[in-house]
């Protein structure tokens, strides 16, 4: 069994069977516009980095798919298939109270990542899955990194805020406010610096937009 479930700019995801268990095989496809040697190194390095960051996130206490196998030569990761519902589709179905509870937990999880110097890099509601019994899994660490830079933490939060504004506008304020509450309770004294950095990033974006106009 091999079923294509998603195809992005960099990789394709396939649902497959792995010794009797459903798994996701993530394959970074070759890019014909790059020199073969450079392409192979980039795909190999990014595959290894993503597998390591998935493990780092789990070590931090954040739920991520278990990596079962890495095929370095073919730039492929075989990982646990998470059965559940993407937060993107879940938000409209929840009451305000449940949305706030969900995003408070998401805020705590992201703060744990940052405490352990992991940034997600693509923090949107499409990359979060709530499984049964209501565990929030974070997926797609292809753009993740290791850093101590407050700017990078702020960028993660900026990406989430922007995703909420564009995709979940009727609920974005409640969701983001609850997220910040959860983040604050876990990240501690440097939280204020991160939130200030988010505001600075937002201001830079507004300034660029105004200059373009």
The residues carrying an active-site annotation are 122
Q: How many CB atoms lie within 10 A of CB 56?
A: 18
The single residue listed with the structure tokens 């995003």 is 103
Q: In what helix (H) or strand (E) does residue 14 lie, and over which residues does it extend?
A: strand 11-18
| Residue 188, both tokens | 């501690």
Cα separation of 185 and 197, whole Å?
A: 18
Per-residue buried b or exposed e for 191-208, using 16+ beta carbons within 10 Å of the residue's own CB: beebbebbeebeeeeeee
Q: Find, among 144, 92, 150, 87, the residue nearest to 119 by Cα.
A: 144
């Amino acid at each position: 069994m091999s079923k294509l479930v998603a195809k992005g700019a960099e990789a394709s995801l396939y649902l497959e069977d792995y010794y009797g268990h459903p798994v996701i095989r993530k394959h970074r496809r070759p890019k014909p516009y790059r020199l073969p040697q450079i392409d192979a190194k980039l795909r190999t390095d990014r595959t290894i980095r993503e597998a390591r960051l998935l493990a780092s996130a789990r070590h931090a206490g954040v739920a991520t798919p278990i990596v079962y196998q890495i095929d370095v030569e073919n730039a492929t990761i075989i990982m646990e298939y998470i059965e559940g519902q993407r937060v993107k589709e879940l938000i409209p179905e929840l009451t305000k109270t449940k949305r706030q509870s969900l995003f408070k937990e998401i805020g705590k999880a992201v703060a744990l990542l940052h405490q352990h110097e992991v940034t997600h890099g693509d923090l949107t509601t499409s990359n979060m899955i709530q499984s049964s019994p209501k565990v929030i899994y974070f997926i797609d660490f292809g753009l993740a990194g290791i850093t101590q830079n407050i700017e990078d933490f702020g960028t993660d939060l900026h990406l989430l805020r922007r995703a909420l504004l564009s995709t979940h506008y009727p609920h974005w304020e409640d969701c983001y406010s609850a997220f910040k509450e959860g983040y604050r309770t876990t990240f501690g004294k440097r939280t204020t610096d991160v939130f200030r950095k988010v505001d600075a990033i937002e201001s830079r974006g507004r300034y660029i937009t105004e200059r373009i106009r």
